[in-house]
Amino acid sequence: MKRAFLAVTTALFFLTASAQDLVRYNYKKGDKIYTGTERLIANPSYSKEDAVMSKLSRVIFSDGEPVWILRLDFMEPTSWKMPKNAPLSITTTEGRAVLLQNYGVEPNLVAPEGMSTEKGLKYLNYGEYYMDNADIQKIVSGVATLDATKRWTDDGHIIINYKNNELGEVIAAQYNAIMNSEAPTTALGDNLKSIQDNRGSRLTETNLIKVADKLSISLVYLYYAPNSSESIDLNLYVPGQTVPYAAAIDVYLKNGKTINLHQEKELSGGRALTYPTPDQVKEMMDGVTKVTIQTKNDTETITFPNNEFSDAIYQLYNSLMMVSIL
């Protein structure tokens, strides 16, 4: 089985997706709660050239007050970096104005068009805009126009008119997904083992978590800059056993579904590597009753009476999402 890649420009989430499907991460860290969505693309009805990809996040502080972060990726054919404090003006369908600023870190950058590396890797054309409850609720009511500054020049504006509230509907779906998400009850520990960056790509690995006497697991997140795709690997460690190449590894969910995985490499020492899809990893967080692993001599069946497997996946996955590029 080939590793499952999720390409953000092609594998899109639809507005009919459930709130749970749209939530990318939801975790507690210290005295703050972080929740964020998957990306959604908004195409104005008259032009696909003005497509914008939206991601919405919320941080709740100890006093209960939230900060909302709207990330907009402008899917233009040329590449640029948006300077810090570059303004974004949104006019709602009710005629109200929302004025925001990019939170970036380079205050004096004048970004030329067509900026790219020697390997052809383009910078992401995005801004991150922080706001309070009042502003996000205005935007959720509907978006009529968007005016984003990408360069400190007269022609450095992106102006998009929405005839059918295309962007507003996308942001509203993300907002509702966050508002309907359950508050996380388990705080994240220090689960990250390593982060390796290479020309814009990233490989992040978690530590092993023991979920049963006979099983420990870890996750690996891979982001590939050349095509903006990502994947997640599930590693298993079964002490005292050998898991042969192509051996079946089945994960049984509480909802009755079974996720069928396989050993993907020739490994020794009780190690196994599997390639679940990102959606399958999310499904594992909802409840796993048992895992069966075909070994060299037998089949190991490991049960989880107290949701140990799902709790570990939850912590490992959200730890990866803390530092993921997308």
Determine which helix (DSSP H) or strand (DSSP E) holds 179, and give its type and residue range: helix 166-179
Determine which helix (DSSP H) or strand (DSSP E) holds 187, and give its type and residue range: none
Would you state the structure tokens that stand for residue 275, as one six-digit string? 């390639």
pLDDT at 105: 60
Query: Cβ distance 129 to 55 under 8 Å?
Result: no
Q: What is the distance between the alpha carbons of residues 69 and 77, in angstroms, rounded to a whole number?
A: 25
pLDDT at 7: 47
Cα 326 to the center of its chain, rounded Å: 6
Query: Cβ distance 79 to 125 under 8 Å?
Result: yes
pLDDT in tens for each of the 326 residues of the chain? 555 555 443 334 444 445 557 898 998 888 889 999 999 999 887 776 788 999 999 999 988 889 999 999 888 777 777 888 999 999 999 999 999 999 876 544 444 444 444 444 455 688 999 999 999 999 999 999 999 998 887 778 899 999 999 999 999 999 999 999 988 866 776 788 988 988 778 899 999 999 999 999 999 999 887 777 889 999 999 999 999 999 999 999 999 999 999 999 999 999 999 999 989 999 999 999 999 999 998 999 999 999 999 999 999 999 998 888 77
Q: Would you say how long the chain is, in residues?
A: 326
Angstrom distances, CA of residue 40 to CA of 7, 98, 170, 234, 314: 12, 21, 6, 26, 23
Q: What is the distance between the alpha carbons of residues 239 and 211, in angstroms, rounded to a whole number?
A: 12
- In single-letter form, the type of residue at position 212 comes to A
pLDDT at 236: 97
Q: What is the distance between the alpha carbons of residues 324 and 311, in angstroms, rounded to a whole number?
A: 20
What's the pTM value of the predicted model, to 2 decimals? Answer: 0.78
Q: What is the distance between the alpha carbons of residues 16 and 37, in angstroms, rounded to a whole number?
A: 14
pLDDT at 107: 46
